[in-house]
Structure 1
């Protein structure tokens, strides 16, 4: 049960790019939560996953002796949920959803500024989860800012509300 949770239904068990596959898998429930339940629900779910995962990861690391195993992607799930929810507060649209995903992966892979410091200095489950939550926060905010700029300067040529899809 622990492995199913930490690998987000085994989406993190790919030999390469497990974080990207885990993030893509997380976009499926994120899309439907945003479409039917709204961004508040997605933020709360992100925070709940964050809090629950810290202890589960601590137990996993104690058992295996491996810190931040590459197959653990529940941190990406919580982070991209946060990014998508923040971006959706500007506009619950397909463009914001895509930008949140792209910026989250960019920040999660490159680990700029405080994200990298947290990744290196904070140990255990908190360290595994916190860098992705900060990456999600920055990704969501950057998506919202860019979307606002596109609207302000009338540069938004296409967009579709998530509620209008399907």
Structure 2
């Protein structure tokens, strides 16, 4: 199953989640579409207390280690571009304790995508050296930490 169809995703819950409810099927920029798919979930989570929000993100990351690894194994490709659960978790982590508002949501989106695409160190190292589900998730988690730091610094100095 090199390039699954939406019908195949619907029959396999692991693949459906790993492919971001189908957003990873985009022929162009699946990571960007996966990150876009994360925004409605963030919108629902943003009113939660920080401890509940972070608990959800941690659980999503732990589940992601399995989902991404299982999907990569089924596809026979390490970090297939359509696997976007890692981008979703990365965006949610970027937006942890972010100021409210769509401007901040867009800013977090742009920051996360920039770090995920550019892969400055140690993100690049993790992307190349850590394999399996943990490796697929780790580079996006690191990109999210960078993006969150910039977002929080911007919010601090603007406020």
Q: Same fold (TM over 0.5)?
A: yes
Cα deviation code 1:25-72 (max 9, x no counterpart): 1011101210x3244333222211111121222223333321001000
The match for 1:127 is 135
Q: 1:79 aligned to 86, 90, 106, which one?
A: 90
The match for 1:44 is 55
Paired with 2:108 and 2:146, the residues of 1 have a C-alpha distance of 9
Please show how residues 67-106 of structure 1 align to structure 2 within 5 Å: 67-86=78-97, 88=98, 91-106=99-114
TM-score between the two structures when normalised by the length of structure 2: 0.85
Alignment gaps of 5+ in structure 2: 1-12
Paired with 1:40 and 1:74, the residues of 2 have a C-alpha distance of 21
The match for 2:152 is 144
Does 2:28 correspond to 1:28? no
- The structure number with the bigger radius of gyration is 1
TM-score between the two structures when normalised by the length of structure 1: 0.82
Paired with 1:31 and 1:59, the residues of 2 have a C-alpha distance of 28
* Contact 1:118–1:131, Cα closer than 8 Å, also in 2: yes
Paired with 2:67 and 2:24, the residues of 1 have a C-alpha distance of 16
Cα deviation code 1:83-107 (max 9, x no counterpart): 0114x2xx33433322211100000
Paired with 1:39 and 1:17, the residues of 2 have a C-alpha distance of 31
The match for 2:73 is 62
* Contact 1:104–1:135, Cα closer than 8 Å, also in 2: yes
SS at structure 1 position matched to 2:128:
helix
Paired with 1:102 and 1:38, the residues of 2 have a C-alpha distance of 24
Paired with 1:13 and 1:61, the residues of 2 have a C-alpha distance of 14
Q: Let me know the Cα RMSD of the aligned residues.
A: 1.5
